[in-house]
Amino acid sequence: MAGKLARNLALLGVALVGAEAAYAVLRPAPRLPEFDPSGEFGDPSHPTLKIAVLGDSSVTAPGVSGPDEVWIRIAARRLAGAGRHVVLSSFAVGGSKAVDVRNGQLQAALEFRPDIAVVSVGANDAIRWVPVKRFEEDLDALVTALRGFGSRVMLTGVGDLGTIPRLYEPLRSLMTARSLLYHRAHERVAARHECVVAEHRNDDRELWLRDRSLWAEDLFHVSARGHARWAEYAMRALEPLA
């Protein structure tokens, strides 16, 4: 009897989480424009620093009003202010998983021959239930290739997906725990290849939960204010590499 009750409760929990996930995905939301943060910054007579960024909508930034509000472009401008000519090229595509970055973005990034490569991916893998082991293998292959070409690499890690306003309990807690698994994969890959991780996951979780101005209209992507906070963590990781 106790075993049957436990099974029924487990099934109920799965059904509840499934209902929450369906609501989060299917709930109507505005379609937001995406942007390419690529550009050149600083005096061309200064030493050139080439930065490639690969990834997903964390780079194409639905939720901001223009490319100047994207975190990687903010960081590139700041690096240019320190006496560099920064050439930023983005290869990111919204919705990408690590395997998509590996198969669809990596070769073009290698041909760009960046001094620094930034990889911002993992949220879609977590949301779409890609096995962590497979995600880590794809991320490791990306970094191996980039390091093999002599690029210094910054990984963004994976933020706390449980702070996304569209989510409710128990899905919120589940995504907090699940996204941490993918963040840890970033940390393991970085350790193996002597890369750095931008620890924006360490930002104030309670602030992200209560301050809706950090989020876009769709309550899923990050707003310009959110990107400004991400840029602070990116700069801490990028400056030692520049």
| CA dihedral for 134, 139, 140, 145, sign (positive or negative) | positive
Considering its fold, how many domains does the chain have in total? 1
Residue at 13: amino acid letter? G
pLDDT tens-place values along the chain, 242 residues long: 444 433 433 333 333 444 344 444 435 457 899 999 999 999 999 999 999 999 999 999 999 999 999 999 999 999 999 899 999 999 999 999 999 999 999 999 999 999 999 999 999 999 999 999 999 999 999 999 999 999 999 999 999 999 999 999 999 999 999 999 999 999 999 999 999 999 899 999 999 999 999 999 999 999 999 999 999 999 999 999 99
Domain that holds residue 175: 36-238
Whether 8 maps to a domain, the answer reads no
CA dist., res. 104 & res. 54, Å (int): 10
Name the β-bridge partners of 50: 87
pTM of model > 0.85:
yes
Flag whether 47 is in a domain. Answer: yes
Residue 22 lies in a domain: no
Q: Say if 11 falls within a structural domain.
A: no
Q: Is residue 202 part of a domain?
A: yes
| DSSP tag of 84 | -
> 153 with 117: CB under 8 angstroms?
yes
Helix, strand, coil shares of the chain, percent, nearest 5, are 55, 15, 35
> Residue 170, preceding bond cis, omega within 30 degrees?
yes
Q: Where are the alpha helices (DSSP H) in 88-170?
A: 98-104, 106-112, 123-127, 132-148
Sign of CA dihedral 190, 154, 143, 47: negative
Is residue 151 a part of any domain in this protein? Answer: yes
At 41, phi and psi to the nearest 5? -140, 140
Considering the domain boundaries, does residue 4 fall inside one? no
The pLDDT, as a whole number, for residue 100 is 98
Q: What is the CATH number of the domain that holds 56?
A: 3.40.50.1110
Instruction: Name the CA dihedral angle for 142, 144, 147, 148, rounded to a multiple of 10 degrees.
Output: -120
62 in a domain, yes or no?
yes
**Which residue, 113, 38, 41, 129, is CA-closest to 81?**
41
Residue 153's pLDDT is: 98
